[in-house]
C-alpha cells in the first residue's frame, strides 16, 4: 500500500518495517492485538529509555498498519484509535552560521577529493537538497550550462530548484569527469552512499575547524533554509525549494523570522534607540 498508493521512498519503507518488526517482537499476535497490548508495548519503550520522538514514530507506524488492516477487512476495529502519542517538545533546527559555512566550503577545496566535495557542498548549500536527492543526481543533470535542477523527492514528487553561479562553476568541470552518477562511489557504476558521503563531510568539517558532530547534510539543509529566511525569503517559496508537502513542516524555521523581525523593530522603531 505504501508503495502503490503513496509512492513511499525506500528509506520510509525500511523505517516502517523496522518499527513494526520491533512491535511484533513484543506483541504476541500483532494483527490481533488489542489496545491494552499496544499500550503495554508503548510503556515498555519508555521504560527502555527511548525518546518520546521514537515512541511517537512507533505509534505512527502502528496506526498506519491497523488502518490498513481495517480498510482491507482483516479487522473490524482500530486498536490504536484511543492511544495517546507522547508529548514531543518543539526542537529548533540546528544550523551553521554563514561564516561557518564559508569555512566549510573553503576547506572542501583542499580535501583529497576536492572536486567532488566542493561540488557537493556548493550544491547542497545552494539548493537545500536532501542528501538522498543529491546522491541520486545523474551526471546529465548538469549537462550544458544547467541553471536549474529537476529533483525527484520524497514520494517520487518532482520539483525544480535553481543553481547558484558558484554551484554551477564548482560542478561544471567535475561533471565532465564522472560516469553515470554525478557523485559516484568507489565503483563508478554505483552512486556514492550516504555513509560514504557522511564520512567525507566529517573530514571536511575537521579541516574547517568545526566540530564534526555539528555538521551533517541535514544541518546544511537547515542552514540553507535559515539563511534564506534571514535574508528575506518567504515561507511559501522556501516550502517549494525544500520540497515540503505541508507548509507546517517549513514553519520550524519561523524562529529565524522572529529573530529578524526583532532586529527590524530594534533598528527602525522610532522609540527603539531612545530606550536602548
How does pLDDT run across 39-95, given as a tens digit for each residue? Answer: 999 999 988 988 888 898 999 999 999 999 999 999 999 999 988 877 766 667 889
Q: What is the pLDDT of residue 209?
A: 97
Q: What is the pLDDT of residue 188?
A: 82
Could you give phi then psi for residue 260, rounded to 5 degrees? Answer: -65, -40
Other residues' Cβ atoms within 10 Å of the Cβ of residue 174: 21
Q: Nearest CA to 97 among 210, 213, 204?
A: 210
Q: What is the pLDDT of residue 177?
A: 67
Q: What is the pLDDT of residue 245?
A: 83
Q: What is the pLDDT of residue 269?
A: 75
Residues forming the active site: 130, 154, 218, 221, 244, 253
d(CA 104, CA 83): 45
pLDDT lower than 70: segments of the chain: 88-91, 143-145, 175-178, 256-257, 259-260, 272-276
Domains of the chain, by residue range, sit at 10-71, 98-262
Q: Does the domain made of 98-262 have the CATH classification 1.10.443.10? A: yes
The model's pTM: 0.69
How far are the Cα atoms of 27, 84, 90, 123, 223 from residue 250, in angstroms, in the given order? Answer: 36, 25, 13, 20, 13
Amino acid at each position: 500500500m505504501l508503495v502503490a498508493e503513496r509512492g513511499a521512498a525506500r528509506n520510509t519503507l525500511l523505517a516502517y518495517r523496522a518499527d513494526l518488526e520491533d512491535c511484533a517482537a513484543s506483541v504476541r499476535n500483532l494483527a490481533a492485538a488489542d489496545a491494552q497490548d499496544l499500550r503495554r508495548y508503548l510503556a515498555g519503550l519508555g521504560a527502555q529509555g527511548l525518546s518520546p520522538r521514537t515512541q511517537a514514530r512507533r505509534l505512527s507506524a502502528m496506526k498506519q498498519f491497523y488502518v490498513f488492516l481495517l480498510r482491507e477487512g482483516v479487522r473490524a476495529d482500530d486498536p490504536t484509535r484511543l492511544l495517546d502519542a507522547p508529548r514531543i517538545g518543539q526542537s529548533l533546527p540546528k544550523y551553521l552560521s554563514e561564516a561557518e559555512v564559508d569555512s566549510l566550503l573553503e576547506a572542501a577545496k583542499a580535501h583529497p577529493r576536492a572536486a567532488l566535495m566542493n561540488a557537493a557542498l556548493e550544491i547542497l548549500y545552494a539548493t537545500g537538497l536532501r542528501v538522498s536527492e543529491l546522491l541520486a543526481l545523474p551526471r546529465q543533470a548538469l549537462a550544458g550550462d544547467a541553471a536549474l535542477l529537476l529533483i525527484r523527492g520524497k514520494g517520487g514528487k518532482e520539483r525544480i530548484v535553481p543553481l547558484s553561479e558558484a554551484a554551477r562553476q564548482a560542478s561544471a568541470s567535475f561533471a565532465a569527469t564522472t560516469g553515470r552518477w554525478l557523485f559516484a562511489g568507489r565503483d563508478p557504476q554505483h552512486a556514492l552512499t550516504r555513509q560514504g558521503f557522511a564520512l567525507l563531510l566529517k573530514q571536511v568539517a575537521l579541516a574547517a575547524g568545526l566540530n564534526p558532530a555539528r555538521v551533517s547534510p541535514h544541518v546544511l539543509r537547515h542552514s540553507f533554509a535559515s539563511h534564506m529566511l534571514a535574508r528575506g525569503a518567504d515561507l511559501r517559496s522556501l516550502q517549494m525549494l525544500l520540497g515540503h508537502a505541508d507548509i507546517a513542516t517549513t514553519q520550524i524555521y519561523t524562529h529565524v523570522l522572529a529573530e529578524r523581525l526583532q532586529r527590524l523593530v530594534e533598528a527602525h522603531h522610532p522609540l527603539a534607540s531612545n530606550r536602548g
